[in-house]
Amino acid sequence: MKQAKKYIIANWKSNKDTSEIITWFKSVSQLFIERKLKNLADFEIVICSTYIHIPLVKQQITSYQLPFKVGAQDISPYSNGAYTGEVSAIMVSEFAEYVIIGHSERRIYFHEDEDMLREKTQMGFSAGLKTIFCVSNNKAEIPPDVTIIAYEPIWAIGTGKTETPLNANEVARKIKNDNKVHIVIYGGSVNKDNICNFLTQKEIDGVLPGNASLDPNSFWEMIVNAASN
Ligand code: PGA
């Protein structure tokens, strides 16, 4: 039986300007040229930048012919229209295939609640985006039509402390059991040294690294370690 793909989804958060993005892609593509990785087809690698940089990320991926997909970190709960400052799912879908919804930073700093997150998920689904819905435990409300669930304990985000792979696996199992989702990934201080501990768990279908995706070398080493496992 063919094994399902494993996801490596880089969440750049509110980081990087144009020149830093250009440098990042130059370095990563150089590393790809220097060392050909065999099992890359087993991975779905997604880069989630700020809205404003999504077209640039797409252009860089295309011009270096990297095996990466494009993602957004958020979308509006509304469609196109009189919603000043918002970026709709339809607009994002012109450039990106994936969107992160309900990251704990959005829930905490921007007060996004379950109703709003349901609207956002619905918008993403209607626009044909694959939604990566973040939850901090297996009891969280999960809207219908979510593509991927990211289990991210809040205390593990950006702290250097991770959930144990066994606990993360158990939470992933429960999420799959209680909801109609087949893909659950783990996020929270994932890096090159611990990525394989999570990817080798039966119920964990990928990872969502933040900090460790910002530096091209550290991102590349995560991919190398994952692919050589
Ligand atoms: P981190 O972030 O890898 O820096 O902990 C993960 C996330 O917030 O998605």
Q: What does the pLDDT look like over 54-93, one tens digit per residue?
A: 999 999 999 999 999 999 999 999 999 999 999 999 999 9
Total of domains in the chain:
1
Give the per-residue pLDDT at 176: 96
Pick from 86, 116, 210: nearest CA to 157: 210
Give the per-residue pLDDT at 90: 98
For residue 229, what are its two tokens? 């496992």
Model confidence pLDDT, tens digit, residues 14-23: 999 999 999 9
List the CATH number of the domain containing 187. 3.20.20.70
- Cα gap 129→89, rounded to integer Å: 8
Residue 162: partners with Cβ closer than 8 Å, 6 or more residues away: 156, 168, 188, 189, 190, 194, 198
Task: Flag whether 215 is in a domain.
Answer: yes
Spans of the chain below 50 pLDDT: 1
Give the per-residue pLDDT at 195: 98
For residue 172, what are its two tokens? 């992933």
Give the per-residue pLDDT at 4: 86
Task: Flag whether 102 is in a domain.
Answer: yes
Please work out whether the CB of residue 211 comes within 6 Å of at least one atom of ligand 1: yes
Strands 130-135 and 148-151, by their bridges, are: parallel
The amino acid at residue 210 is G
Residue 210 Cα to ligand 1 middle (Å): 4
Q: CA 216 from chain center: how many Å?
A: 16
Strands 68-72 and 98-101, by their bridges, are: parallel
In ligand 1, the atom with minimum distance to the C-alpha of 158 is 5
Give the per-residue pLDDT at 3: 67
Active-site residues: which are they? 103, 152
Give the per-residue pLDDT at 1: 47
Q: What's the Cα-to-Cα distance from 18 to each of 48, 156, 216, rounded to whole Å?
A: 14, 29, 15
Residue with tokens 């144009």: 18
Task: Flag whether 25 is in a domain.
Answer: yes
- Cα gap 22→105, rounded to integer Å: 26
For residue 199, what are its two tokens? 């990817």
In ligand 1, the atom with minimum distance to the C-alpha of 159 is 5
Task: Flag whether 1 is in a domain.
Answer: no
Q: CA 162 from chain center: how many Å?
A: 17
Name the pTM for this structure.
0.97
Please work out whether the CB of residue 210 comes within 6 Å of at least one atom of ligand 1: yes
Please work out whether the CB of residue 92 comes within 6 Å of at least one atom of ligand 1: no
**Mean of pLDDT over the chain:** 96
Range of the domain at 67: 6-228
Task: Flag whether 73 is in a domain.
Answer: yes
Task: Flag whether 172 is in a domain.
Answer: yes
Contact 135, 142 (CB under 8 A): yes
